Amino acid sequence: AAGVIQSPRHLIKEKRETATLKCYPIPRHDTVYWYQQGPGQDPQFLISFYEKMQSDKGSIPDRFSAQQFSDYHSELNMSSLELGDSALYFCASSWRDFGYEQYFGPGTRLTVT
Amino acid sequence: AQKVTQAQTGISVVEKEDVTLDCVYETRDTTYYLFWYKQPPSGELVFLIRRNSFDEQNEISGRYSWNFQKSTSSFNFTITASQVVDSAVYFCALASGFQKLVFGTGTRLLVSP
């Protein structure tokens, strides 16, 4: 079965650089969520989209922005990167007509040096 | 506010032992969903189970079983006859409908041969 696809899987950036993470949800899933997991921590919700509209927002820094496109894929843009942004970034998707399970992608490991 | 507490930060067992991971939650919502996810050393988040607040039936899936008790706001997870491959961090999570997942801090399970 198709799963959530995230790219790239690993990304190394320097401080003050910009990064773009991509997420391709499971086909027919209409909701996308982004989470950030720091080392040794639990995943923290950043932002979500339903049918291409922002549906909820968590503790997402102003330096970060995200959107969901017409083909339902989503991108998380991160600017002026800081060392503390080093984390595992997960995208998850769900389908409102099928249930509430959020299926997670493999994550993008971002390292800021 | 919603909160999930996993008081056990780390558990170490020997293969074939049974182990129970505790999860206590707080919410003011009458309709909510509880989840368990497994995060192996490779880093991905693997969905294990979803339970809604109206369904207190216990569930068994192979060596895994879950005990949901609304009276004590607990959703505990038991692994019977543990195996080395069960070594991972296990997260309990809570959501209301299609809203964000609120995770506990996770329990790191180490199963030794």
pLDDT at A95: 85
Instruction: Tell me which residue in A41, A45, A50 faces B100 most closely, judged by beta carbons.
Output: A45
> Does residue A94 belong to the interface with chain B, where contact is any CB pair within 8 Å?
yes
User: Nearest C-alpha of chain B: how many angstroms from A18?
Assistant: 24
- The DSSP result for B3-38, as a single string, is EEE---SEEEEETT--EEE--EEE-S-SS-EEEEEE
- CA–CA separation, B71 and A15 (whole Å): 49
Instruction: Tell me which residue in B44, B46, B100 faces A56 most closely, judged by beta carbons.
Output: B100
Question: In the block, which residue shows the tokens 């997260």?
Answer: B91
- CA–CA separation, A72 and A50 (whole Å): 9
Judge contact between A88 and B106, C-beta under 8 A. Answer: no
Instruction: Report the sign of the C-alpha dihedral through residues A31, A10, A44, B55, in that order.
Output: positive
- The DSSP result for B67-94, as a single string, is EEEGGGTEEEEEESS--GGG-EEEEEEE
Q: Do B50 and A101 touch (CB under 8 A)?
A: yes
Mean pLDDT, rounded, of chain B: 94
pLDDT at A99: 63
Q: Do B43 and A88 touch (CB under 8 A)?
A: yes
pLDDT at B56: 83
pLDDT at B1: 82
pLDDT at A98: 62
The strand pairing partners of A26, in sequence order, are none
Tokens of B96: 């209301």
pLDDT at B23: 98
- CA–CA separation, B67 and B75 (whole Å): 6
- CA–CA separation, B43 and B72 (whole Å): 31
Residue A48: how many other CB atoms lie within 10 Å:
26
Residue B56: how many other CB atoms lie within 10 Å:
12
State which residues of chain A have pLDDT below 70.
Answer: 97-100
Q: Do B100 and A103 touch (CB under 8 A)?
A: no
B73 pLDDT exceeds 70? Answer: yes
